[in-house]
Structure formats: C-alpha cells, structure tokens
Structure 1
Amino acid sequence: MPPLILITRPVDAAKTFAAAVQAELGSGADICIAPLLDIQLLPDLPDLSRYPTLIFTSAHAVASFARATTARDFTCYTVGSATAEKAAECGLSPIIGPGTGRDLAERIVGDAPATPCLHLRGDHIAFDIAKYLNSGGLDTEEATVYRQLPVPLPDAILTRIMQADAVIAPVFSPRSAQLLLDAVPKGSNLHVAAISGAAAGVFAPDNATRIEVAQSPDRQSMLACTATLWSHANRLEGRTGPQ
C-alpha cells in the first residue's frame, strides 16, 4: 500500500493542511484526516479595557476573542503568519512573530509595548509567555479562552494505520506529538514531520522510523517536510513520487 499521510490537527486546521498537501503531492497521496484534539471555545473573556497589548499564540485564541468582543483597538502580537492571518481577518493589525513562543516573547521584550499585556491562550501551552515576559519586566497576565480536548482514533483509522506500509505524520506541537504517540498502534512504520525540536523530542529512537524537523516553525515548512518524508517513503517502497 502507498504511504498514509495521517493529519491529526483539529478538524478545521486539518482540512486546510490536507488540501495543501494534496495540492503539493497530487492525487497519488493517500491522506487521512484524524483529529486527536477537539477545540472548545470558551464564552467569556476578561475585561479587555485594562490591556493595551494582546498576545495570540494560536488561531483558536483569535477565534475565541473575535466571537466574544467587537473591540479591536489593541497592539496585537501573533506567534506566526498563520495566526496573523486570522487576526487580520477579524480586524486586528498583528505584529508577526518568528513562529515559536520563546522567539515571540523575546521580540515583545525587545519592543517593550504598553502594559499590562494579556496572553490569550489554550489550556495547554508549549511555552509560558506570561512567565517569561514578567521575568523580563513586562507586566503580563493570561487568560484561557479555549480548551483542547483529546479525541481517540476510530477503529477504522487504526486499521488503516496498521495496514499502511508507512505512516507520514506531521505534528504541530509537543502535546499533539504525545497524543499521536499514545494513539498509534505499536509497530507502526511511523515517519514524523515535527514543527520543532520540542515536538520531535517526544519520540524516542524506537518510537519512529524517521523523524524530521521542519526548517522553520510554519505551515509552508511543515508542508515541505511532509512532502520530503512522503517521497522518501515512496522510494523505500520502490514507488515514484509525483511527476
């Protein structure tokens, strides 16, 4: 069987990334959307009038913000370009970070925006931006505006994984990497495209056949990394990639 590309992002993000992968690799790519997280937006925000500067590290936080208020008069930082796109769509003017929470926090410390800052975040984070900024002298608070609820893989998808000669799995955070590792049957021929070293570090050497870290922590680099792993798996099985 051809390599299976297993996309485990929350459903909307998974569909967007799957479409990009399909466009890149063509009709020969076997793509399976299998979310391991369900996003639950929370209805309430804190009183935003206290915060001249908002920080977003995911598009889900932007969605929660946009649903809860029409206020847009803020200095706005986003972790990277994908989150910035969502912020711009809802009427904010984002300052775009380099792609990771730590790099964004370093940028904000350097800019020294008006405080207090507010980090709008999910219930799980890879890097504690508020703690970093407070230690750097910038008064920063945080608010959880969405939850990330684990979702088990259906039996039909587990069967597809076990039947595949190779499973190409892009992972976009350490938490999603751990959920993938917990969900995939033992012995799967797993090839991981990781958005960061932290995400890659979840996997021990015997957990995956191959692990590649994207050149940059962004969607385009993850697409390129996924395509590279897919082409490599095809070569190993004696197949050719798209012409």
Structure 2
Amino acid sequence: MTDPILLLTRPEAAARRFLAELEVAAGRHLQAVIAPLLRIDEMTPPRPATSPAGLILTSERGARGAARMGYVGLPAWCVGPRTAQAAKAAGLEPLAGGGTAETLLAAILAAPDTGPLLHLRGDHQRGELVARLRAAGRDCAEALVYAQTARPLSDEGRALLDGTAPVVAPVFSPRSAALLAGCAPVAAPLALVAISAAAARPLAPLKARVTQATRPEAIAMIDATLEAHATFGSMEHSRGSGA
C-alpha cells in the first residue's frame, strides 16, 4: 500500500514545523510536498498616539509584531494556545481567548474594560473584530504588522494534484482554503482537512472529502491530518485492489 502524500500549502516555515510535528506524532517519516500558497512579509508600523492598555493577538505573527513595536509587559488577548505561547515569549501577559474569533470577542466583552485595546493583525482578516468591539463600546484600534501575499502553486505541487497518488492537504484558514480551491480541477484522489467550518467552506470547488478538526488548534489539526492520512490511504488501497 502506498501512503498518501501530504500537500502542505502554509508559508514555508509554518509548513515545515507542521510536518515535523506530524512526524513526531506519527513516529515515522511522512512523504510531503511543501508548496506555499502565501508569503508572509513582516511590517513594523509606528505606535499609535494613544498607548494601549492591552493587545489583541489573532496569530503568532501578531505577537512577533508586538515585539518589533517594543510592547512588553502588556496583557494580550490571544486567540489560541500557540498565539499565547508566542505572546509569552515576546514578554507579554497572555489572556485566553478560547480558540476562535467569536470566543475571543466574547471573552474580551465579558472582562472589565481596562482601557484602550490594540489589535495587531495581518492585512487579511475576517470577523470584523475591531468594528464589533467598537460597536460594543470598547476603545479599540488596529495596526498591520504583516502582509499575506498570494503565491502560485509550485510546479511540484501542481504535478502532485495532476497525478494519480492519493493526496492529503490540511488547510488552516479560509484564505488559504480559497487559494487551494483555485487550483481546481484536481485529478489526484484528494482528502482535505480543515481547521474550522470557515476554512472548510471555500474548499467546495475541489469536490473532495473534507474532514474538520475537532477544535481550531494545532494539536487537533495534527490528529485530524494523521487520521485522514491513515484512513484515506486504506480507502484508496481498497479501491485500487478491487476489495
């Protein structure tokens, strides 16, 4: 039986880290093609005139942006545990946001208003977090600390999707899902793993099996990807053998 090949389309550093985590969890080498569909360009904007009492971080890159801007010691609302780890490493005081934009918003609104907030984010976002906080009466500004530039699928990635070997592709955001969907049509047998329902929706044009992680967290994506890798490989082997 031939293992499915992983197609990893995150920015390269994140893709390599995820592959390493998958291999540790699997206890073996996994065949993969790293073909990023996004490039990350970091930015360091000037500090706003009003000093924030706290930060809002919806990615690890937001935490790194805080460090570049010289923010230390501030409480930082973090969307998930990996962002919280990055915030702590940057010298901030992480506050748990529950794992999604919706739970993050609810957590902030349930907490006492301690002063102005600053959301450090990328140039593509969803959820209108700042606008919704302002509508709820919170003083909240935002600053762009990184840009996400779309990249074409590499020749190796295209060849994989045009081939016959089964492919498992995890997706971590609605935007990366939409970029991957733009690679349709696909000839290869394809299984997709989405971090959330929002990331699953844009995948419809690929007409492939989609599994959703149980939680929007890295560990849940590792579990879901390895499960898809194992079960999809078995299914394709059964089809190929006529079982």
Please indicate, yes or no, whether the TM-score normalized by the shorter chain is above 0.5.
yes
Contact between 1:121 and 1:146, CA under 8 Å: does it hold in 2? yes
2:186 matched to 1:211?
no
> Match for residue 106 of structure 2?
106
2:231 matched to 1:232?
yes
Structure-1 separation of matches of 2:215 and 2:96: 14
Contact between 1:189 and 1:208, CA under 8 Å: does it hold in 2? no
> Match for residue 72 of structure 1?
72
**C-alpha distance after superposition, 1:141-191 (max 9, x if no partner):** 111111001111221221133224221111111001001111354333221
Judged with a 3 Å threshold, the aligned counterparts in structure 2 of structure 1 residues 220 and 73 are, in CA distance, closer, same or farther, namely same
Q: Give the Å deviation of 1:108.
A: 0.3
2:41 matched to 1:46?
no
Judged with a 3 Å threshold, the aligned counterparts in structure 2 of structure 1 residues 224 and 48 are, in CA distance, closer, same or farther, namely farther
Structure-1 separation of matches of 2:203 and 2:184: 12
Structure-2 separation of matches of 1:189 and 1:169: 11
Q: Pick which of 156-165 and 188-197 moved more.
A: 156-165
Q: Give the Å deviation of 1:49.
A: 5.3
Q: Give the Å deviation of 1:6.
A: 1.0
Aligned residue pairs, count: 237
Judged with a 3 Å threshold, the aligned counterparts in structure 2 of structure 1 residues 34 and 3 are, in CA distance, closer, same or farther, namely same
Q: Which secondary structure state, in structure 2, belongs to the residue aligned with residue 14 of structure 1?
A: helix
Structure-2 separation of matches of 1:48 and 1:220: 39
Contact between 1:122 and 1:147, CA under 8 Å: does it hold in 2? yes
Structure-2 separation of matches of 1:230 and 1:98: 28
> Match for residue 241 of structure 2?
none
Q: Give the Å deviation of 1:208.
A: 3.2
* Letter in structure 1 aligned against 2:222: L
2:84 matched to 1:84?
yes
* Letter in structure 2 aligned against 1:29: L
Contact between 1:177 and 1:202, CA under 8 Å: does it hold in 2? yes
> Match for residue 24 of structure 1?
25
> Match for residue 38 of structure 2?
37
| Ranges in structure 2 where 5+ consecutive residues have no aligned partner | 239-243
* Letter in structure 1 aligned against 2:207: A
Q: Which secondary structure state, in structure 1, belongs to the residue aligned with residue 24 of structure 2?
A: helix
Judged with a 3 Å threshold, the aligned counterparts in structure 2 of structure 1 residues 18 and 48 are, in CA distance, closer, same or farther, namely farther
TM-score, structure 1 length as denominator?
A: 0.91
> Match for residue 163 of structure 2?
163
Q: Give the Å deviation of 1:126.
A: 2.2
**C-alpha distance after superposition, 1:67-95 (max 9, x if no partner):** 231x3132211100011111111111101
> Match for residue 222 of structure 1?
221
Judged with a 3 Å threshold, the aligned counterparts in structure 2 of structure 1 residues 46 and 164 are, in CA distance, closer, same or farther, namely farther
Q: Which secondary structure state, in structure 2, belongs to the residue aligned with residue 5 of structure 1?
A: strand
Judged with a 3 Å threshold, the aligned counterparts in structure 2 of structure 1 residues 118 and 38 are, in CA distance, closer, same or farther, namely same
Structure-1 separation of matches of 2:92 and 2:29: 39
Structure-2 separation of matches of 1:45 and 1:73: 18
